[in-house]
Amino acid sequence: MNKHLQIRDISTVEGQLTTVQENDLPQQRLDLKFMPWKPYTEEQKQSFACLLDEVNVLNIPVPKSKAEEEDLVNRFLTGMRKLFTTENNFTCLPMLQTSMDNCVQCNSCSSACHLFEMSGENEMYRPNYRSEIFRRIYKQYIKKEPFAKWRYGDLGLNWKTVARLGELAYRCNLCRRCAQTCPIGVDNGLIAREIRKVFSQELGISPKELHEKGTVLQSRAGSSTGMTSQVVKDNVEFIDEDYSEITGIEVHTPFDVKGADILLLHNAGEIIAWPENVAAFSVIFQEAGLSWTLSSKCAGYDGVNYGVFYDDAQLARIALMHMQAAKELGVKKIVIGECGHAHKALTVIADRVIPYELQTPRESCYVTLRDIVMSGRLKLNPARNDFPVTLHDPCNIVRLMGIVSPQREILRKIAPKFREMPCHGVDNYCCGGGSGFAIMSRNNIEEWRGNITGRKKMWQIGEAFKDCLGPETKKYICAPCSNCKGQIRELLAHNDLYEKNSFAYGGLVELIVNCMDNVNPGFIKWGEDE
Protein backbone atom coordinates (compact mmCIF):
# COMPACT_ATOMS: atom_id res chain seq x y z
CA MET A 1 0.00 0.00 0.00
CA ASN A 2 1.18 3.42 -0.96
CA LYS A 3 2.08 6.09 1.57
CA HIS A 4 3.17 8.61 -1.04
CA LEU A 5 -0.17 9.20 -2.60
CA GLN A 6 -1.00 11.23 -5.66
CA ILE A 7 -4.30 13.06 -6.00
CA ARG A 8 -5.62 10.77 -8.74
CA ASP A 9 -4.97 7.66 -6.60
CA ILE A 10 -8.25 8.39 -4.87
CA SER A 11 -10.03 7.25 -8.04
CA THR A 12 -7.66 4.77 -9.59
CA VAL A 13 -6.24 2.52 -6.87
CA GLU A 14 -7.96 -0.82 -6.31
CA GLY A 15 -8.64 -1.98 -2.74
CA GLN A 16 -7.34 -0.24 0.37
CA LEU A 17 -5.61 3.01 -0.50
CA THR A 18 -3.07 3.44 2.28
CA THR A 19 -1.98 2.38 5.75
CA VAL A 20 -0.12 3.64 8.79
CA GLN A 21 1.97 1.07 10.62
CA GLU A 22 3.86 1.06 13.90
CA ASN A 23 7.21 1.98 12.37
CA ASP A 24 5.67 5.08 10.76
CA LEU A 25 4.82 6.62 14.12
CA PRO A 26 7.18 9.16 15.70
CA GLN A 27 8.63 8.10 19.05
CA GLN A 28 8.14 10.21 22.13
CA ARG A 29 8.83 10.56 25.83
CA LEU A 30 5.81 8.60 27.08
CA ASP A 31 5.77 4.91 26.36
CA LEU A 32 2.84 4.58 23.96
CA LYS A 33 1.78 1.16 22.76
CA PHE A 34 0.77 0.60 19.17
CA MET A 35 -2.74 -0.81 18.97
CA PRO A 36 -2.72 -3.34 16.12
CA TRP A 37 -5.42 -2.75 13.51
CA LYS A 38 -8.09 -5.40 13.44
CA PRO A 39 -8.22 -6.75 9.87
CA TYR A 40 -11.45 -6.32 7.92
CA THR A 41 -13.57 -9.45 7.78
CA GLU A 42 -14.61 -10.75 4.36
CA GLU A 43 -18.18 -9.83 5.20
CA GLN A 44 -17.16 -6.24 6.00
CA LYS A 45 -15.26 -5.96 2.77
CA GLN A 46 -18.19 -7.23 0.75
CA SER A 47 -20.78 -5.10 2.48
CA PHE A 48 -19.03 -1.81 3.06
CA ALA A 49 -16.57 0.37 1.21
CA CYS A 50 -13.35 -0.48 3.08
CA LEU A 51 -11.27 1.44 0.61
CA LEU A 52 -9.26 4.08 2.42
CA ASP A 53 -7.31 2.66 5.33
CA GLU A 54 -7.95 0.38 8.30
CA VAL A 55 -10.66 2.61 9.71
CA ASN A 56 -14.26 2.73 8.60
CA VAL A 57 -16.39 5.48 10.04
CA LEU A 58 -19.24 5.80 7.56
CA ASN A 59 -19.88 2.19 6.54
CA ILE A 60 -20.91 3.20 3.04
CA PRO A 61 -22.61 0.19 1.42
CA VAL A 62 -20.80 -1.27 -1.60
CA PRO A 63 -22.96 -0.65 -4.70
CA LYS A 64 -24.28 -3.88 -6.13
CA SER A 65 -24.44 -2.84 -9.76
CA LYS A 66 -23.10 -0.33 -12.22
CA ALA A 67 -26.37 1.56 -11.88
CA GLU A 68 -25.94 1.81 -8.10
CA GLU A 69 -22.39 3.01 -8.55
CA GLU A 70 -23.56 5.76 -10.88
CA ASP A 71 -26.40 6.61 -8.56
CA LEU A 72 -23.97 7.20 -5.69
CA VAL A 73 -21.83 9.48 -7.83
CA ASN A 74 -24.82 11.40 -9.17
CA ARG A 75 -26.38 11.91 -5.77
CA PHE A 76 -23.05 13.11 -4.46
CA LEU A 77 -22.74 15.62 -7.31
CA THR A 78 -26.29 16.79 -6.73
CA GLY A 79 -25.41 17.36 -3.08
CA MET A 80 -22.28 19.24 -4.05
CA ARG A 81 -24.28 21.50 -6.32
CA LYS A 82 -26.61 22.29 -3.44
CA LEU A 83 -23.66 23.03 -1.22
CA PHE A 84 -22.75 25.88 -3.55
CA THR A 85 -26.16 27.57 -3.40
CA THR A 86 -27.13 30.31 -0.99
CA GLU A 87 -30.52 28.69 -0.36
CA ASN A 88 -29.06 25.45 0.91
CA ASN A 89 -25.88 26.75 2.45
CA PHE A 90 -26.14 30.40 3.47
CA THR A 91 -24.42 29.40 6.69
CA CYS A 92 -21.06 28.54 5.15
CA LEU A 93 -21.01 29.37 1.44
CA PRO A 94 -18.63 32.35 1.57
CA MET A 95 -16.05 30.35 3.52
CA LEU A 96 -16.43 27.37 1.25
CA GLN A 97 -16.29 29.36 -1.98
CA THR A 98 -13.17 31.25 -0.99
CA SER A 99 -11.52 28.06 0.22
CA MET A 100 -12.23 26.49 -3.17
CA ASP A 101 -10.91 29.35 -5.26
CA ASN A 102 -7.92 30.69 -3.39
CA CYS A 103 -5.68 27.90 -2.17
CA VAL A 104 -2.22 28.38 -3.66
CA GLN A 105 -1.10 24.87 -2.67
CA CYS A 106 1.81 26.10 -0.61
CA ASN A 107 1.51 23.35 2.04
CA SER A 108 2.14 25.83 4.85
CA CYS A 109 -0.74 24.17 6.69
CA SER A 110 0.77 20.67 6.65
CA SER A 111 2.99 20.91 9.68
CA ALA A 112 0.16 22.41 11.73
CA CYS A 113 -1.83 19.18 11.56
CA HIS A 114 -1.22 16.68 14.35
CA LEU A 115 -2.59 13.87 12.18
CA PHE A 116 -0.16 14.54 9.37
CA GLU A 117 2.75 14.74 11.78
CA MET A 118 1.78 11.77 13.93
CA SER A 119 0.98 9.48 11.02
CA GLY A 120 4.60 9.83 9.93
CA GLU A 121 3.50 12.36 7.29
CA ASN A 122 1.20 10.04 5.43
CA GLU A 123 -0.05 12.04 2.43
CA MET A 124 -3.66 11.18 3.17
CA TYR A 125 -3.46 13.27 6.33
CA ARG A 126 -2.01 16.36 4.71
CA PRO A 127 -4.78 18.89 5.39
CA ASN A 128 -4.84 19.82 1.73
CA TYR A 129 -5.15 16.29 0.34
CA ARG A 130 -8.89 15.89 0.84
CA SER A 131 -9.48 19.55 0.10
CA GLU A 132 -7.69 19.34 -3.22
CA ILE A 133 -9.66 16.28 -4.28
CA PHE A 134 -12.89 18.03 -3.41
CA ARG A 135 -11.66 21.19 -5.15
CA ARG A 136 -10.81 19.33 -8.33
CA ILE A 137 -14.21 17.64 -8.39
CA TYR A 138 -15.76 21.06 -7.92
CA LYS A 139 -13.78 22.66 -10.72
CA GLN A 140 -14.10 19.80 -13.18
CA TYR A 141 -17.64 18.54 -12.54
CA ILE A 142 -19.60 21.27 -10.77
CA LYS A 143 -18.20 24.58 -11.97
CA LYS A 144 -16.94 23.02 -15.19
CA GLU A 145 -14.11 25.50 -15.54
CA PRO A 146 -12.69 25.83 -19.05
CA PHE A 147 -9.69 23.52 -19.56
CA ALA A 148 -10.06 22.21 -15.99
CA LYS A 149 -8.58 18.83 -16.94
CA TRP A 150 -5.53 20.46 -18.46
CA ARG A 151 -5.15 23.06 -15.73
CA TYR A 152 -5.46 20.86 -12.67
CA GLY A 153 -5.14 17.33 -13.98
CA ASP A 154 -7.97 14.99 -14.87
CA LEU A 155 -9.60 13.55 -11.77
CA GLY A 156 -11.66 10.58 -12.83
CA LEU A 157 -14.80 10.47 -10.72
CA ASN A 158 -16.26 7.10 -9.77
CA TRP A 159 -17.97 5.57 -6.78
CA LYS A 160 -14.62 4.79 -5.13
CA THR A 161 -13.68 8.47 -5.27
CA VAL A 162 -16.94 9.36 -3.56
CA ALA A 163 -16.70 6.65 -0.92
CA ARG A 164 -13.08 7.45 -0.13
CA LEU A 165 -13.75 11.17 0.03
CA GLY A 166 -16.57 10.56 2.49
CA GLU A 167 -14.22 8.58 4.71
CA LEU A 168 -11.48 11.16 4.29
CA ALA A 169 -13.81 13.81 5.68
CA TYR A 170 -13.68 11.72 8.85
CA ARG A 171 -9.89 11.64 9.06
CA CYS A 172 -9.88 15.12 10.53
CA ASN A 173 -10.62 16.41 14.02
CA LEU A 174 -12.01 19.72 12.69
CA CYS A 175 -9.60 21.45 15.06
CA ARG A 176 -8.84 24.15 12.45
CA ARG A 177 -5.24 24.44 13.50
CA CYS A 178 -4.39 24.27 9.80
CA ALA A 179 -6.74 27.16 9.06
CA GLN A 180 -4.99 29.25 11.68
CA THR A 181 -1.71 28.94 9.82
CA CYS A 182 -2.93 29.42 6.24
CA PRO A 183 -1.48 32.62 4.81
CA ILE A 184 -4.46 33.05 2.50
CA GLY A 185 -7.30 32.23 4.87
CA VAL A 186 -8.27 28.87 3.36
CA ASP A 187 -9.93 26.50 5.83
CA ASN A 188 -9.33 22.79 5.34
CA GLY A 189 -11.26 21.98 8.50
CA LEU A 190 -14.28 23.71 7.05
CA ILE A 191 -13.94 21.76 3.81
CA ALA A 192 -13.91 18.48 5.74
CA ARG A 193 -17.10 19.53 7.52
CA GLU A 194 -18.74 20.62 4.25
CA ILE A 195 -18.03 17.19 2.75
CA ARG A 196 -19.59 15.62 5.85
CA LYS A 197 -22.62 17.84 5.23
CA VAL A 198 -23.07 16.58 1.66
CA PHE A 199 -23.01 13.01 2.91
CA SER A 200 -25.42 13.64 5.76
CA GLN A 201 -27.75 16.24 4.31
CA GLU A 202 -28.04 14.80 0.80
CA LEU A 203 -27.10 11.12 0.94
CA GLY A 204 -28.29 10.48 4.47
CA ILE A 205 -24.92 8.93 5.37
CA SER A 206 -23.35 9.83 8.69
CA PRO A 207 -21.76 8.04 11.66
CA LYS A 208 -24.53 6.50 13.73
CA GLU A 209 -22.95 7.80 16.94
CA LEU A 210 -23.47 11.36 15.73
CA HIS A 211 -26.83 10.94 14.02
CA GLU A 212 -29.10 8.08 15.13
CA LYS A 213 -27.54 7.75 18.57
CA GLY A 214 -26.62 11.42 18.70
CA THR A 215 -28.80 14.24 17.45
CA VAL A 216 -31.82 12.09 16.60
CA LEU A 217 -31.86 10.44 20.00
CA GLN A 218 -31.30 13.77 21.69
CA SER A 219 -34.25 15.33 19.85
CA ARG A 220 -36.46 12.41 20.79
CA ALA A 221 -35.38 11.44 24.31
CA GLY A 222 -33.75 14.67 25.41
CA SER A 223 -30.16 13.48 25.53
CA SER A 224 -27.74 11.61 23.32
CA THR A 225 -27.12 9.38 26.33
CA GLY A 226 -30.72 8.24 26.00
CA MET A 227 -31.55 9.58 29.46
CA THR A 228 -35.01 11.01 29.75
CA SER A 229 -35.86 13.92 31.91
CA GLN A 230 -36.93 11.74 34.84
CA VAL A 231 -33.81 9.56 34.63
CA VAL A 232 -31.61 12.64 34.69
CA LYS A 233 -33.37 14.04 37.74
CA ASP A 234 -33.07 10.70 39.53
CA ASN A 235 -29.40 10.36 38.66
CA VAL A 236 -28.59 13.87 39.78
CA GLU A 237 -30.40 13.21 43.02
CA PHE A 238 -28.17 10.16 43.57
CA ILE A 239 -25.13 12.25 42.77
CA ASP A 240 -26.23 14.86 45.30
CA GLU A 241 -26.60 12.16 47.94
CA ASP A 242 -23.25 10.52 47.19
CA TYR A 243 -21.32 13.71 47.07
CA SER A 244 -22.96 15.18 50.14
CA GLU A 245 -21.31 12.28 51.92
CA ILE A 246 -18.00 12.57 50.06
CA THR A 247 -17.62 16.32 50.40
CA GLY A 248 -19.25 16.78 53.79
CA ILE A 249 -21.44 19.49 52.30
CA GLU A 250 -25.17 19.07 51.85
CA VAL A 251 -25.40 19.24 48.07
CA HIS A 252 -28.66 20.13 46.39
CA THR A 253 -28.85 20.52 42.63
CA PRO A 254 -31.87 22.61 41.69
CA PHE A 255 -34.04 21.79 38.66
CA ASP A 256 -36.44 24.03 36.74
CA VAL A 257 -36.19 27.10 38.96
CA LYS A 258 -38.12 29.75 37.07
CA GLY A 259 -36.47 33.13 37.04
CA ALA A 260 -33.08 31.84 38.22
CA ASP A 261 -30.14 33.91 37.01
CA ILE A 262 -28.30 30.99 35.43
CA LEU A 263 -29.26 27.88 33.49
CA LEU A 264 -26.29 25.53 33.79
CA LEU A 265 -26.05 23.33 30.73
CA HIS A 266 -23.98 20.20 31.30
CA ASN A 267 -22.89 17.66 28.75
CA ALA A 268 -25.17 14.87 30.02
CA GLY A 269 -22.37 12.37 29.50
CA GLU A 270 -20.87 13.81 32.69
CA ILE A 271 -23.83 12.58 34.71
CA ILE A 272 -23.04 9.01 33.67
CA ALA A 273 -19.26 8.98 33.27
CA TRP A 274 -18.00 11.75 35.56
CA PRO A 275 -20.57 12.40 38.29
CA GLU A 276 -17.85 14.15 40.30
CA ASN A 277 -17.89 16.92 37.69
CA VAL A 278 -21.62 17.48 38.07
CA ALA A 279 -21.27 17.39 41.85
CA ALA A 280 -18.35 19.80 41.80
CA PHE A 281 -20.34 22.35 39.82
CA SER A 282 -23.22 22.02 42.26
CA VAL A 283 -20.90 22.45 45.25
CA ILE A 284 -19.24 25.53 43.78
CA PHE A 285 -22.40 27.26 42.57
CA GLN A 286 -24.18 26.48 45.81
CA GLU A 287 -21.34 27.63 48.05
CA ALA A 288 -20.84 30.77 45.98
CA GLY A 289 -24.49 31.60 46.51
CA LEU A 290 -25.45 31.79 42.85
CA SER A 291 -29.02 31.80 41.65
CA TRP A 292 -28.98 28.86 39.25
CA THR A 293 -30.80 25.85 37.97
CA LEU A 294 -30.66 22.86 35.68
CA SER A 295 -33.48 22.23 33.23
CA SER A 296 -35.41 19.00 32.89
CA LYS A 297 -36.96 20.04 29.58
CA CYS A 298 -36.18 17.85 26.55
CA ALA A 299 -32.55 18.57 25.55
CA GLY A 300 -32.37 21.29 28.18
CA TYR A 301 -30.26 19.01 30.35
CA ASP A 302 -27.80 17.96 27.67
CA GLY A 303 -25.62 20.64 26.11
CA VAL A 304 -24.28 18.22 23.52
CA ASN A 305 -24.90 19.28 19.91
CA TYR A 306 -23.25 16.83 17.54
CA GLY A 307 -24.81 18.67 14.59
CA VAL A 308 -21.82 20.98 14.79
CA PHE A 309 -19.67 18.10 13.50
CA TYR A 310 -21.67 17.02 10.46
CA ASP A 311 -25.08 18.54 9.74
CA ASP A 312 -26.49 22.09 9.78
CA ALA A 313 -30.13 21.04 10.10
CA GLN A 314 -29.48 18.91 13.16
CA LEU A 315 -27.27 21.64 14.61
CA ALA A 316 -30.08 24.20 14.29
CA ARG A 317 -32.69 21.86 15.76
CA ILE A 318 -30.69 21.06 18.87
CA ALA A 319 -29.57 24.66 19.39
CA LEU A 320 -33.19 25.78 19.17
CA MET A 321 -34.20 23.26 21.84
CA HIS A 322 -31.45 24.59 24.11
CA MET A 323 -32.58 28.17 23.62
CA GLN A 324 -36.22 27.22 24.22
CA ALA A 325 -35.33 25.53 27.50
CA ALA A 326 -33.65 28.75 28.69
CA LYS A 327 -36.50 30.98 27.51
CA GLU A 328 -39.05 28.83 29.26
CA LEU A 329 -37.25 29.26 32.57
CA GLY A 330 -36.67 32.95 31.97
CA VAL A 331 -33.02 32.80 33.06
CA LYS A 332 -30.67 35.72 32.52
CA LYS A 333 -27.96 33.59 30.95
CA ILE A 334 -26.98 30.08 30.00
CA VAL A 335 -23.70 28.97 31.51
CA ILE A 336 -22.22 26.17 29.47
CA GLY A 337 -20.50 23.42 31.46
CA GLU A 338 -17.20 21.76 30.66
CA CYS A 339 -17.91 20.76 27.08
CA GLY A 340 -16.01 22.36 24.21
CA HIS A 341 -18.27 21.70 21.26
CA ALA A 342 -21.34 22.69 23.28
CA HIS A 343 -19.63 26.03 23.90
CA LYS A 344 -19.00 26.69 20.24
CA ALA A 345 -22.28 25.32 18.92
CA LEU A 346 -24.49 27.38 21.20
CA THR A 347 -22.43 30.51 21.70
CA VAL A 348 -20.86 31.09 18.31
CA ILE A 349 -22.55 29.04 15.60
CA ALA A 350 -26.14 29.30 16.84
CA ASP A 351 -25.64 33.04 17.23
CA ARG A 352 -26.44 33.64 13.55
CA VAL A 353 -28.83 30.75 13.06
CA ILE A 354 -31.36 31.17 15.87
CA PRO A 355 -33.54 34.32 15.64
CA TYR A 356 -32.29 36.88 18.12
CA GLU A 357 -35.54 37.15 20.08
CA LEU A 358 -35.33 33.42 20.86
CA GLN A 359 -31.78 33.71 22.17
CA THR A 360 -30.60 33.89 25.77
CA PRO A 361 -27.03 35.13 26.34
CA ARG A 362 -24.42 32.39 26.77
CA GLU A 363 -21.35 32.43 28.96
CA SER A 364 -18.54 29.95 29.33
CA CYS A 365 -18.32 28.22 32.71
CA TYR A 366 -14.61 29.11 32.74
CA VAL A 367 -15.63 32.76 32.96
CA THR A 368 -18.27 32.18 35.64
CA LEU A 369 -15.83 30.05 37.64
CA ARG A 370 -13.05 32.62 37.29
CA ASP A 371 -15.35 35.26 38.75
CA ILE A 372 -16.31 33.00 41.64
CA VAL A 373 -12.71 32.02 42.44
CA MET A 374 -11.43 35.57 42.19
CA SER A 375 -14.32 37.03 44.20
CA GLY A 376 -13.20 35.28 47.36
CA ARG A 377 -16.66 33.78 47.88
CA LEU A 378 -15.11 30.34 48.31
CA LYS A 379 -12.56 29.63 50.99
CA LEU A 380 -9.73 28.04 49.05
CA ASN A 381 -6.61 26.32 50.24
CA PRO A 382 -4.23 25.90 47.27
CA ALA A 383 -1.88 23.79 49.41
CA ARG A 384 -4.37 20.94 48.91
CA ASN A 385 -3.52 21.07 45.20
CA ASP A 386 0.18 20.68 45.81
CA PHE A 387 0.85 18.41 42.83
CA PRO A 388 1.93 19.19 39.25
CA VAL A 389 -1.01 20.23 37.09
CA THR A 390 -1.12 20.88 33.39
CA LEU A 391 -3.96 22.23 31.28
CA HIS A 392 -5.44 20.91 28.06
CA ASP A 393 -7.03 23.59 25.88
CA PRO A 394 -10.17 22.38 24.07
CA CYS A 395 -9.94 23.70 20.49
CA ASN A 396 -13.55 24.80 20.40
CA ILE A 397 -13.23 27.02 23.45
CA VAL A 398 -9.74 28.35 22.92
CA ARG A 399 -8.78 28.63 19.25
CA LEU A 400 -12.36 29.02 18.08
CA MET A 401 -13.76 31.25 20.83
CA GLY A 402 -10.74 33.04 22.25
CA ILE A 403 -11.42 31.99 25.84
CA VAL A 404 -7.86 31.52 26.99
CA SER A 405 -7.17 33.48 30.13
CA PRO A 406 -9.99 32.72 32.66
CA GLN A 407 -9.05 29.07 33.14
CA ARG A 408 -5.41 30.08 33.59
CA GLU A 409 -6.28 32.75 36.13
CA ILE A 410 -8.07 30.06 38.14
CA LEU A 411 -5.19 27.60 37.90
CA ARG A 412 -2.60 30.18 38.86
CA LYS A 413 -4.65 30.90 41.95
CA ILE A 414 -5.42 27.33 43.05
CA ALA A 415 -2.65 25.11 41.66
CA PRO A 416 0.82 26.16 42.85
CA LYS A 417 2.52 23.65 40.55
CA PHE A 418 0.61 24.53 37.40
CA ARG A 419 2.70 24.33 34.24
CA GLU A 420 1.74 24.89 30.60
CA MET A 421 2.03 22.27 27.91
CA PRO A 422 4.19 23.14 24.93
CA CYS A 423 1.97 24.70 22.22
CA HIS A 424 -0.75 25.89 24.56
CA GLY A 425 -3.53 28.46 24.32
CA VAL A 426 -4.65 29.15 20.78
CA ASP A 427 -1.69 27.11 19.49
CA ASN A 428 -2.95 23.98 21.23
CA TYR A 429 -3.41 20.57 19.64
CA CYS A 430 -6.64 18.62 19.58
CA CYS A 431 -6.92 15.80 22.12
CA GLY A 432 -7.59 13.48 19.19
CA GLY A 433 -11.23 12.92 20.03
CA GLY A 434 -12.40 16.11 18.35
CA SER A 435 -15.37 16.26 15.96
CA GLY A 436 -17.18 13.30 17.44
CA PHE A 437 -14.51 10.61 17.54
CA ALA A 438 -14.29 10.57 21.33
CA ILE A 439 -17.61 8.73 21.41
CA MET A 440 -16.76 6.24 18.65
CA SER A 441 -14.84 3.02 19.06
CA ARG A 442 -15.99 0.53 16.40
CA ASN A 443 -14.18 -0.39 13.17
CA ASN A 444 -10.68 0.47 14.42
CA ILE A 445 -11.69 4.01 15.39
CA GLU A 446 -10.45 3.37 18.92
CA GLU A 447 -7.13 2.09 17.58
CA TRP A 448 -6.92 5.12 15.31
CA ARG A 449 -7.43 7.48 18.24
CA GLY A 450 -4.76 5.66 20.20
CA ASN A 451 -2.23 5.31 17.41
CA ILE A 452 -2.57 8.58 15.55
CA THR A 453 -5.05 11.24 16.64
CA GLY A 454 -4.21 11.29 20.35
CA ARG A 455 -0.48 10.97 19.93
CA LYS A 456 0.34 14.65 19.79
CA LYS A 457 -1.64 15.31 22.95
CA MET A 458 0.35 12.59 24.68
CA TRP A 459 3.52 14.28 23.48
CA GLN A 460 2.34 17.56 24.99
CA ILE A 461 1.48 15.87 28.30
CA GLY A 462 4.83 14.08 28.40
CA GLU A 463 6.68 17.33 27.77
CA ALA A 464 4.69 19.27 30.36
CA PHE A 465 5.60 16.73 33.04
CA LYS A 466 9.06 15.83 31.83
CA ASP A 467 10.65 16.81 35.16
CA CYS A 468 8.42 14.49 37.18
CA LEU A 469 7.52 11.51 35.04
CA GLY A 470 7.31 8.13 36.75
CA PRO A 471 4.99 6.71 39.40
CA GLU A 472 6.43 8.64 42.38
CA THR A 473 4.80 12.00 41.72
CA LYS A 474 1.05 12.33 41.40
CA LYS A 475 0.12 14.51 38.45
CA TYR A 476 -3.16 16.02 37.27
CA ILE A 477 -4.18 16.62 33.67
CA CYS A 478 -6.83 19.30 33.74
CA ALA A 479 -9.01 18.75 30.68
CA PRO A 480 -12.12 20.87 31.13
CA CYS A 481 -14.13 19.33 28.30
CA SER A 482 -16.22 16.20 28.35
CA ASN A 483 -15.15 14.72 25.01
CA CYS A 484 -11.48 15.55 25.60
CA LYS A 485 -11.65 13.81 28.96
CA GLY A 486 -13.10 10.73 27.32
CA GLN A 487 -10.25 10.64 24.84
CA ILE A 488 -7.56 11.25 27.48
CA ARG A 489 -9.08 8.61 29.75
CA GLU A 490 -8.67 5.99 27.03
CA LEU A 491 -5.16 7.03 26.09
CA LEU A 492 -4.05 6.80 29.70
CA ALA A 493 -5.77 3.47 30.26
CA HIS A 494 -4.51 1.82 27.12
CA ASN A 495 -0.92 2.80 27.80
CA ASP A 496 -1.03 1.95 31.53
CA LEU A 497 -0.13 5.53 32.28
CA TYR A 498 -2.19 5.72 35.44
CA GLU A 499 0.18 3.25 37.08
CA LYS A 500 3.38 4.07 35.23
CA ASN A 501 3.06 7.79 35.73
CA SER A 502 0.51 8.39 38.49
CA PHE A 503 -1.67 10.47 36.24
CA ALA A 504 -5.15 11.57 37.11
CA TYR A 505 -7.29 13.58 34.75
CA GLY A 506 -10.41 15.62 35.24
CA GLY A 507 -11.92 19.05 34.88
CA LEU A 508 -11.38 22.44 36.36
CA VAL A 509 -14.22 22.25 38.86
CA GLU A 510 -12.81 19.13 40.51
CA LEU A 511 -9.57 20.98 41.13
CA ILE A 512 -11.45 23.91 42.66
CA VAL A 513 -13.48 21.66 44.96
CA ASN A 514 -10.34 19.71 45.88
CA CYS A 515 -8.94 22.84 47.48
CA MET A 516 -12.11 24.17 49.12
CA ASP A 517 -11.44 24.47 52.82
CA ASN A 518 -14.90 23.39 53.92
CA VAL A 519 -14.89 20.27 51.73
CA ASN A 520 -13.47 16.97 53.00
CA PRO A 521 -9.90 16.57 51.65
CA GLY A 522 -9.14 14.22 48.75
CA PHE A 523 -11.90 15.05 46.28
CA ILE A 524 -9.59 14.14 43.39
CA LYS A 525 -8.68 10.46 43.32
CA TRP A 526 -5.64 8.81 41.81
CA GLY A 527 -5.70 5.21 40.63
CA GLU A 528 -4.89 3.55 43.94
CA ASP A 529 -7.22 5.80 45.99
CA GLU A 530 -10.30 4.83 43.98
Partner 1 sequence: MTTIFYLLAYFAFAAFFALACCKIRGYLAASPLHVRWEIYPVPHEGKKAAYGGSFMENSDWWTKVRHVEHFYDILGIFKEVLLLEATFKHNHTLWFRTYPFHFGLYMLMGGSIILFFTVLAGLLGASPLWNPQEMEGFVTFIHNVLNSVVLIGALAIFGGGIALICRRMNDEGLAVYSSREHFLNIGVFVLFAFLTLMTWACNADYVILAATFMHNLLTLNFVPQESNLFALSMLLGFFVLLWIPLSNMQHLLLKYFMYHDIRWNDVPTQASVTNQNLIPDLLKKQVTWAAPHIAGDGTPKSWLDVAVNVPNKTEK
At 366 the three-state DSSP class reads: helix
The yes or no reply on residue 291 touching partner 1 (CB under 8 A) is: no
Please provide the DSSP assignment of 263-284 as one string. EEE--THHHHH-HHHHHHHHHH
Which of partner 1, ligand SF4, none interacts with 220 (beta carbon under 5 to 8 A by kind)?
Answer: partner 1
Instruction: Please state the closest distance from residue 366 (CB atom) to ligand SF4, in A.
Output: 22
By CB under 6 A, the residues from 134 to 193 that bind ligand SF4 are 172-178, 182, 184, 186, 188-189, 192
Residue 300 contacts ligand SF4 per CB under 6 A: no
113, 262, 283, 414: which one binds ligand SF4 (CB under 6 A): 113
**What part of residues 377-416 is at the interface with partner 1 (CB under 8 A)?**
398-406
Q: Are 306 and 436 in contact (CB under 8 A)?
A: yes
Q: Which stretch binds ligand SF4 (CB under 6 A): 42-50, 71-79, 99-107, 486-494?
A: 99-107
Q: Beginning with the edge strand found earlier in the chain, give each strand of the sheet holding 503-506 in spatial order.
A: 418-419, 389-391, 475-478, 503-506
Question: Contact between 101 and ligand SF4 (CB under 6 A)?
Answer: no
Question: Taking a C-beta distance cutoff of 8 angstroms, is the pair 271, 223 a contact?
Answer: no
Question: Going by C-beta distance under 8 Å and a sequence separation of 6 or more, which residues neighbour residue 120?
Answer: 3, 20, 24, 25, 26
Q: Are 224 and 318 spatial neighbours (Cβ–Cβ below 8 Å)?
A: no
How many Å apart are CA 437 and CA 178, to the nearest integer? Answer: 19
Q: Please choose which of ligand SF4, partner 1, none residue 174 contacts, taking the beta carbon within 5 to 8 angstroms, the exact cut-off set by kind.
A: ligand SF4
The answer to whether 368 contacts partner 1 (rule: CB under 8 A) is yes
Q: Count CB atoms within 10 A of the CB of residue 121.
A: 16
Q: Which secondary-structure segment (H or E) carries 194?
A: helix 188-197
Scored b (16 or more CB within 10 A) or e, 189-219 reads bbbbbbbbbbbbbbbebbbebbbebbbbbbb
Cα–Cα dist 183/187, whole Å: 10
197-256 residues near partner 1, rule: CB under 8 A: 200-204, 211-212, 215-216, 219-220
Residue 403 contact partner, candidates partner 1, ligand SF4, none, CB within 5 to 8 A by sort of partner: partner 1
The closest alpha carbon to 237, from 281, 275, 289, belongs to: 275
Q: Which does 333 bind (CB under 5 to 8 A by kind): ligand SF4, partner 1, none?
A: partner 1
**191: contact with partner 1 by CB under 8 A:** no
Q: Choose which of 95, 268, 280, 331 interacts with partner 1 (CB under 8 A).
A: 95
Q: Of residues 16, 28, 69, 75, which one binds partner 1 by CB under 8 A?
A: 75
Which of ligand SF4, partner 1, none lies near 506, with the C-beta cut-off 5 to 8 A by kind?
Answer: none
Binding site for ligand SF4 (CB under 6 A): 103-109, 112-113, 115, 127-128, 172-178, 182, 184, 186, 188-189, 192
